């Protein structure tokens, strides 16, 4: 178990999974940025070491004669006098500092830019692929989890890993160069300090990383749960308020939230240990180095110069060590977030997308006269029972059809097959004797408008909800008003503060259930489709609105094919054909009065209270 955990929390594994998420162009840019950051880190420490000859001369001018390194620089500059030498050294140091600062700033700006571009590209790619996933994939995956991956996990991947990788390169190069300088200044003492500090920090970071990763792993799991919990709670706020269980829901939230906050705080506290230890060890190292140099006979200006450089180097190396430790801990902490991105991407890559949808562009000349379901068999993934064993029926253009049956009889599944959202395991769906897949889903679905029992109503304006996806500047307001009149919503639009330009609020909070469904039907009318599918869409309408909708549907019958999943039998009395589903087949079909006479099951449904108006 321990070995598996260590493998899971491996930094190399996180780096590898994060790197795999990049495309080839992004990988090249990342490698280039790693090199730039590496040299930027070297320049940062080099800029500190350039103070050595300047400080030495200012403290003790005679040091030029006995220090070979300073004498070498003096000779290169043409043996100037002391004042000129100090001025020239100051200029060199100033240029080094400016170049170092510009180089570091450039590398960080580049890292932020490229990591943000990678996040944008990957989020767009994932979202597009998610929309292309088969309907069955969406059934299996929680939308809240997918949303969290796109909005939260990818942001963490950008800010805490891809953006940080070049910084780590710069931090490592700066630390290595600083240690080399220390070893040159005091070889024996430097070796002891490097070995001791390296061993202690490695052990400490491993302990901290292990503990912090465990805590943050639990944070990720609880964050996912609390996101789902809050979303579902707010969507179902009416049920919660009427359940008399608000305290119980609050306790669930408090428990999840407590774990997240406490674990996050604990992980933060654990991450403080390396910071304070590095600072303490740096201060002790300066003290030990100064004492050791004095004891071995280095005194005066040379000692002061060496100590000035050591202090400058340590002033650089301590923040670098802290940033490096923090970066590595953060990467280990976000291991499970990256695993979730990888698992979602793997799930998408392993699933065959709806390629048929994009194989054909929309053919405006495409026409149809009938749809035939022939010997259809269908079973949902991971289910053991077939929904349909031998489903056969025919839909003719311009007629009104209804699907009825008890719960679980397959009404919605039959509609989903008709819509092309799912594919039969065997059998054929023929459009005028041509297989649906050969025609192309994009062609077929462009002819259809779907009105669900709970339609999607956004916070946008009434006109934008009816035009649904049409750019604002291209919306035909006259057409919107015409559609509103047909579904008995024109009076409502006039009563709104800004008419059809009024925003409807979150999930159309300003509308009743029946009004939302009429907006969805108006949306279908705006689209000018040939087929209107109503999935229990009139179940929430009052009698007056239902009569208006029924009258509208009657008027549309000759120019539009209508398919209804019936909940209220009052809405299907005038249908041209009703399909009664039972045990994966069409048990019987015909008009309303005809079925009442010849089917005891239909008569039972017609008399069932849940189906009576």
Note whether 154 and 260 are within 8 A (CB): no
Q: How far apart are CA 305 and CA 300, in angstroms?
A: 9
Residues of the chain with CATH 3.40.50.300: 354-445+575-613
Residue 327: Cβ within 10 Å count: 17
Helix (H, G, I), strand (E, B) or coil at 97: helix
Query: Does the pLDDT at position 589 exceed 90?
Result: yes
Query: Does the pLDDT at position 613 exceed 50?
Result: no
Of the listed ranges 42-46, 125-129, 244-248, the least confidently predicted one is: 244-248
Q: How far apart are CA 189 and CA 350, in angstroms?
A: 57
Q: Are strands 388-396 and 577-582 parallel, antiparallel or unpaired?
A: unpaired
Residue 240: Cβ within 10 Å count: 17
Q: How far apart are CA 133 and CA 127, in angstroms?
A: 10
The closest of 482, 328, 479, 378 to 10, measured between CA atoms, is 328
For the residues 164-180, what does the mean pLDDT come to?
Answer: 83
CA distances from 106 to 102, 110, 118, 266, 321 (A): 6, 6, 18, 35, 21
pTM of the model: 0.70
What lies within 8 Å, CB to CB, of 603 at 6+ separation is: 595, 596
Query: Does the pLDDT at position 277 exceed 80?
Result: no
Residue 612 has what pLDDT?
46
Helix (H, G, I), strand (E, B) or coil at 375: strand
Tokens of residue 207, six digits: 């302990």
Q: How far apart are CA 247 and CA 332, in angstroms?
A: 37
Q: Is 592 exposed, middle or buried (0-12, 13-18, 19+ CB in 10 A)?
A: middle
Residue 2 has what pLDDT?
41
Three-point CA angle 184, 102, 92, nearest 5°: 55
CA distances from 226 to 233, 255, 257, 525 (A): 10, 10, 7, 39
Question: Is the domain 22-350 a CATH 1.10.357.10 member?
Answer: no
DSSP string of 514-544, one letter each residue: HHHHHHHHHHHHHHT-SEEEEESTTTT--HH
Of the listed ranges 282-296, 433-447, 485-499, the least confidently predicted one is: 282-296
At 239, the pLDDT band (50, 70, 90 cuts) reads low
Query: Does the pLDDT at position 259 exceed 80?
Result: yes
Higher confidence at residue 274 or residue 149?
A: 149
Residue 361 has what pLDDT?
59
**Bridge partners, residue 403, by sequence:** 565, 579
At 7, the pLDDT band (50, 70, 90 cuts) reads very low
Helix (H, G, I), strand (E, B) or coil at 389: strand
For the residues 113-141, what does the mean pLDDT come to?
Answer: 87
CA distances from 312 to 231, 305, 504 (A): 53, 11, 62
Residue 65: Cβ within 10 Å count: 9
Residue 380 phi/psi, 5-degree rounding, is -75, 150
Q: How far apart are CA 562 and CA 521, in angstroms?
A: 12
Residue 359: CA count within 13 A, CB half-sphere: 12
The closest of 222, 233, 296, 219 to 264, measured between CA atoms, is 219
Residue 313 has what pLDDT?
66
CA distances from 285 to 166, 196, 277, 314 (A): 28, 11, 12, 9
Residues of the chain with CATH 1.20.1560.10: 22-350
DSSP string of 539-597, one letter each residue: TT--HHHHHHHHHHHHHHTTTSEEEEE-SSGGGSTT-SEEEEEETTEEEEEE-HHHHHH
The closest of 210, 213, 225 to 259, measured between CA atoms, is 225
Three-point CA angle 466, 467, 468, nearest 5°: 85
Tokens of residue 198, six digits: 């390296």
For the residues 220-233, what does the mean pLDDT come to?
Answer: 76
Tokens of residue 578, six digits: 């009703």
Ranges 298-312, 565-579, 597-611, most confident: 565-579
Q: Mean pLDDT over all residues of the chain?
A: 80
What lies within 8 Å, CB to CB, of 140 at 6+ separation is: 381, 382
Tokens of residue 613, six digits: 């108006």
pLDDT digits (tens, 9 = 90+) for 62-112: 766 766 777 777 788 788 887 888 888 888 888 888 888 888 888 889 989
Ranges 51-60, 141-150, 239-248, most confident: 141-150
Query: Does the pLDDT at position 4 exceed 70?
Result: no
Strand order in the sheet with 448-451: 448-451, 531-535, 561-565, 400-404, 577-582, 585-590
SS3 content of the chain, % helix, strand, coil (to 5): 70, 10, 20
Note whether 54 and 84 are within 8 A (CB): no
Of the listed ranges 34-48, 306-320, 386-400, 548-562, the least confidently predicted one is: 306-320
pLDDT digits (tens, 9 = 90+) for 329-346: 778 777 888 888 888 888
Residue 459 has what pLDDT?
81
What is the 8-class DSSP label of residue 366? -
21: left (phi over 0), alpha (psi -120 to 50) or beta: alpha
Max distance between CA atoms of the chain, in angstroms, equals 120
Q: How far apart are CA 313 and CA 400, in angstroms?
A: 83
**Bridge partners, residue 370, by sequence:** 396
Question: Is the domain 354-445+575-613 a CATH 3.30.10.20 member?
Answer: no
Query: Does the pLDDT at position 38 exceed 80?
Result: yes
Ranges 189-203, 211-225, 412-426, 518-532, most confident: 412-426
| H or E element in which residue 370 lies | strand 370-378
Per-position b or e across 251-283, b if 16+ CB within 10 A of its CB: eeeeebeebbeebbebbeebbebbbebbeebbe
Question: Could you tell me the end-to-end alpha-carbon distance of the chain, in angstroms, rounded to an integer?
Answer: 60
Residue 174 has what pLDDT?
80
For the residues 116-128, what does the mean pLDDT come to?
Answer: 90
Task: Output Rg (C-alpha) for the chain, integer angstroms.
Answer: 36
At 49, the pLDDT band (50, 70, 90 cuts) reads confident
Query: Does the pLDDT at position 9 exceed 70?
Result: no
Residue 300 has what pLDDT?
64
């Amino acid at each position: 178990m321990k070995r598996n955990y260590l493998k899971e929390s491996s930094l190399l594994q996180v780096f590898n999974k994060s790197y795999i998420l990049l495309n080839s162009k992004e990988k090249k840019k990342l490698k280039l940025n790693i090199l730039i950051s590496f040299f930027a880190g070297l320049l940062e420490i080099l800029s500190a070491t350039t103070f050595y000859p300047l400080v030495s001369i200012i403290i003790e001018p005679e040091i030029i004669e006995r220090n070979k390194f300073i004498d070498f620089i003096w000779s290169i500059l043409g043996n100037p006098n002391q004042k000129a030498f100090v001025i020239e050294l100051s200029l060199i140091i100033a240029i080094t500092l400016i170049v170092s600062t510009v180089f570091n700033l450039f590398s960080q700006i580049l890292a932020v830019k490229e990591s943000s571009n990678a996040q944008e590209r990957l989020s767009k790619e994932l979202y597009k692929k998610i929309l292309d996933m088969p309907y069955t994939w969406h059934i299996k995956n929680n939308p809240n989890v997918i949303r969290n991956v796109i909005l939260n996990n990818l942001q963490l991947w950008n800010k805490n890993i891809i953006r940080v990788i070049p910084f780590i390169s710069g931090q490592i190069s700066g630390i290595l160069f600083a240690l080399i300088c220390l070893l040159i200044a005091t070889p024996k003492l430097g070796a002891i300090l490097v070995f001791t500090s390296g061993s202690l920090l490695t052990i400490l970071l491993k302990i901290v990383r292990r503990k912090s990763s465990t805590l943050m792993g639990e944070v990720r799991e609880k964050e996912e749960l609390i996101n789902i919990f809050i979303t579902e709670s707010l969507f179902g706020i009416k049920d919660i308020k009427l359940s008399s269980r608000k305290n119980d829901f609050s306790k669930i939230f408090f428990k999840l939230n407590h774990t997240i906050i406490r674990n996050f705080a604990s992980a933060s506290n654990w991450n403080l240990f390396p910071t304070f230890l590095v600072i303490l060890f740096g201060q002790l190292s300066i003290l030990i180095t100064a004492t050791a140099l004095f004891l071995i006979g280095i005194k005066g200006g040379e000692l002061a110069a060496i100590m000035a450089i050591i202090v400058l180097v340590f002033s650089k190396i301590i923040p670098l060590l802290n940033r490096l430790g923090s970066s590595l801990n953060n990467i280990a902490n976000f291991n499970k977030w990256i695993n979730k991105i990888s698992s979602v991407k793997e799930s998408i890559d392993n699933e065959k997308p709806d390629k048929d949808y994009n194989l054909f562009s929309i053919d405006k000349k495409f026409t149809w006269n009938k749809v035939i379901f022939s010997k259809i068999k269908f079973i949902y993934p991971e289910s053991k029972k077939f929904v349909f064993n031998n489903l056969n029926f025919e839909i003719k253009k311009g007629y009104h059809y209804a699907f009825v049956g008890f719960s679980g009889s397959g009404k919605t599944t039959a509609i989903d097959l008709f819509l092309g959202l799912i594919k039969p395991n065997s059998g054929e769906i023929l459009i005028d004797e041509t297989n649906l897949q050969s025609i192309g889903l994009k062609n077929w679905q462009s002819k259809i408008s779907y009105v669900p029992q709970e339609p999607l109503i956004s916070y946008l304006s009434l006109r934008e909800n009816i035009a649904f996806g049409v750019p604002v500047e291209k919306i035909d307001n006259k057409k919107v008003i015409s559609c509103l009149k047909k579904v008995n919503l024109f009076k409502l639009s006039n009563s709104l503060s800004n008419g059809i330009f009024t925003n409807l609020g979150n999930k159309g909070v300003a509308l009743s259930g029946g009004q939302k469904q009429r907006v969805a039907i108006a949306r279908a009318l705006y689209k000018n489709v040939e087929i209107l599918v109503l999935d229990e869409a009139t179940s929430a309408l009052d009698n007056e609105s239902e009569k208006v909708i029924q009258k509208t549907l009657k008027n549309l019958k000759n120019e539009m094919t209508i398919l209804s999943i019936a909940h209220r039998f009052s809405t299907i009395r005038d249908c041209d054909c009703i399909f009664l589903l039972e045990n994966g087949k069409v048990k019987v079909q015909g008009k309303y009065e005809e079925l009442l006479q010849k089917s005891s099951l239909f008569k039972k449904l017609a008399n069932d209270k849940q189906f009576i108006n």
